[in-house]
Amino acid sequence: MQISLQDPLFQASIPVLNKIESHGYEAYFVGGAIRDVLLEKTIGDIDIATSAFPQEIQTIFPKHFDVGIEHGTIVVLYQGNSYEITTFRTESTYSDYRRPDHVEFVRNLKLDTLRRDFTINAMAVDAKGELYDFHGGYQDLEDKLLRAVGLPLERFQEDALRIMRGIRFASQLGFQLEEQTFEAMSQLASNFSKISIERIRIELEKMMAGSYLSQTIPFFKNAKLEKSFPQANQFDYVQGLSYLSHQTRGHQGLSPLITWSLLLKGMEINDEKTQRRLMKQWTLSNRLMDQVVAFLKLNHEIIQQTLTIETIYDYDQVVIDHMYNYLEITNQMATKNEMEELINNLPIRKRQELAVNGKQIMQVLKMEKGGPVIGQLLDQIEAKVIRKELVNQTDAIINWLKNNKNS
């Protein structure tokens, strides 16, 4: 069967495949890009697999980086672009449930596909567009089925992350999990405890942002996938995910800021300390944690109708923008407009926009040394400017300072 390789990402990579082939080796596009092109979705990145061993690739492409050579991956620079090329390999005995004890390079494409997770991810296409599908991946795409390559129990036993990948593909693609694949996922869900939390988080975030989250939650719930998640005995992940999906119904590409915020809200984790503790366990960045906490606080103020020009001033613009996005998604346009009005009415957006700075205040007050009083005065000036009790002009502020000198 012929596949169209019209996509510019494929077009740009065909010369790389041709070059490898001209040296007598095989080379294919593999993995997610094939799945996505068959689904007529935009393809993310291109993975190239080859029968050439890493040293042979290094010889063919003198400009290269050995990023993961022990796993057979070389990044080569060719005609100004970089490409990731991985030697066909088999993987053997995963004694730790997450990394193969050793990989063995092989010359045969079919052997390489046996190590891949799902049939829809195990197809390959050559430079001419010919499809190689050893595990019925094309049919499974047609049937919207996620099916493990080979024996599901074995495959999830080898690498428990695949369980989480399965559920996130279901959420992204709206596919069902084939029966035995799902059975095996359920049986081995507790093996998550052996996987690094970062890798689970990446899959969880993709799952939460999937368009078909709501239809995926029953699988997640029935397989009890959350049982090894942080604090799962105390807080209800299924309830959190249900809330998230209910709120955002089918919207694509939600940001982690929105998904984490709604997850925590749905899990009824309302105090900041507990929110931070859970997010820390999930290894979120400090920046994202701060933003989620702020988003939830802002959301609370919106619901309580306590948002004012003074309280809104304290929120970072990134948080405000995500709140706009969330309000749009949830059809709360009136609230969004009110918020926009408050923001547009703000005379300044941050302290640096004040028409005076600490140094000027010291000059006006003839102070030799700074001190906490400068900060306090800036606080006062800032509050007055925001409340529009004082115009943000140097003269006006200096006048106010002089008049209040002794008070």
From Mg ion, ligand ATP, none, which one binds at residue 38 (CB under 5 to 8 Å depending on kind)?
Answer: none
Considering only 155-163, 273-281, 324-332, 370-378, which stretch makes contact with ligand ATP by CB under 6 A?
A: 155-163
Considering only 113-121, 188-196, 366-374, 375-383, which stretch makes contact with ligand ATP by CB under 6 A?
A: 113-121
121 binds ligand ATP (CB under 6 A): yes
Report the nearest approach of ligand ATP to the CB of residue 128 (Å). Answer: 21
Considering only 3-11, 161-169, 184-192, 272-280, which stretch makes contact with ligand ATP by CB under 6 A?
A: 161-169
Considering only 117-125, 232-240, 307-315, 373-381, which stretch makes contact with ligand ATP by CB under 6 A?
A: 117-125
Q: Name the residue nearer to ligand ATP (CB basis): 48 or 52.
A: 48
Q: Which residue has the tokens 């090894």?
A: 228
Between the alpha carbon of residue 103 and those of residues 29, 84, 115, 161, 373, the distances in Å are: 20, 18, 10, 18, 65
Amino acid at 254: L
Q: Are strands 145-146 and 176-177 parallel, antiparallel or unpaired?
A: parallel
Report the nearest approach of ligand ATP to the CB of residue 30 (Å). Answer: 7
Give residues with Cβ within 8 angstroms of 359, minimum separation 6. none
Between the alpha carbon of residue 189 and those of residues 150, 182, 183, 216, 390, the distances in Å are: 18, 10, 10, 16, 61
31 binds ligand ATP (CB under 6 A): yes
Q: Which of 5, 48, 74, 116 binds ligand ATP (CB under 6 A)?
A: 116
Distance (Å, whole) CA 365 – CA 371: 12
162 binds ligand ATP (CB under 6 A): yes
159 binds ligand ATP (CB under 6 A): yes
Q: Which residue has the tokens 């672009």?
A: 81
**What would the two tokens of residue 270 be?**
């309302």
15 binds ligand ATP (CB under 6 A): no
Between the alpha carbon of residue 194 and those of residues 94, 97, 155, 190, the distances in Å are: 12, 7, 15, 8
- Number of other CB atoms surrounding residue 257 within 10 Å: 22
Measured from each CB, the residue nearest to Mg ion is: 32
Q: Name the residue nearer to ligand ATP (CB basis): 146 or 327.
A: 146
Q: Which of 44, 68, 250, 375 binds ligand ATP (CB under 6 A)?
A: 44
117 binds ligand ATP (CB under 6 A): yes
Between the alpha carbon of residue 192 and those of residues 97, 163, 200, the distances in Å are: 9, 9, 8
From ligand ATP, Mg ion, none, which one binds at residue 162 (CB under 5 to 8 Å depending on kind)?
Answer: ligand ATP
* Contact indicator for 153, 194 with CB cutoff of 8 Å: no
What is the residue-wise DSSP string for 117-138?
SBGGGS-EE-TT-BEE-SS-HH
Considering only 70-78, 156-164, 222-230, 257-265, which stretch makes contact with ligand ATP by CB under 6 A?
A: 156-164
Distance (Å, whole) CA 309 – CA 342: 6
Strand partners, 176: 145
Measured from each CB, the residue nearest to ligand ATP is: 32
From ligand ATP, Mg ion, none, which one binds at residue 54 (CB under 5 to 8 Å depending on kind)?
Answer: none
Report the nearest approach of Mg ion to the CB of residue 45 (Å). Answer: 5
Distance (Å, whole) CA 193 – CA 172: 24
Per CB under 5 A, which of residues 15..74 are in contact with Mg ion?
32, 45
129 binds Mg ion (CB under 5 A): no
68 binds ligand ATP (CB under 6 A): no
Distance (Å, whole) CA 149 – CA 162: 11
From ligand ATP, Mg ion, none, which one binds at residue 152 (CB under 5 to 8 Å depending on kind)?
Answer: none
Considering only 3-11, 63-71, 157-165, 397-405, which stretch makes contact with ligand ATP by CB under 6 A?
A: 157-165
- Number of other CB atoms surrounding residue 306 within 10 Å: 9
**Contact set with Mg ion (CB under 5 A):** 32, 45
**Contact set with ligand ATP (CB under 6 A):** 31-32, 44, 47, 116-117, 121-122, 159, 161-162, 165
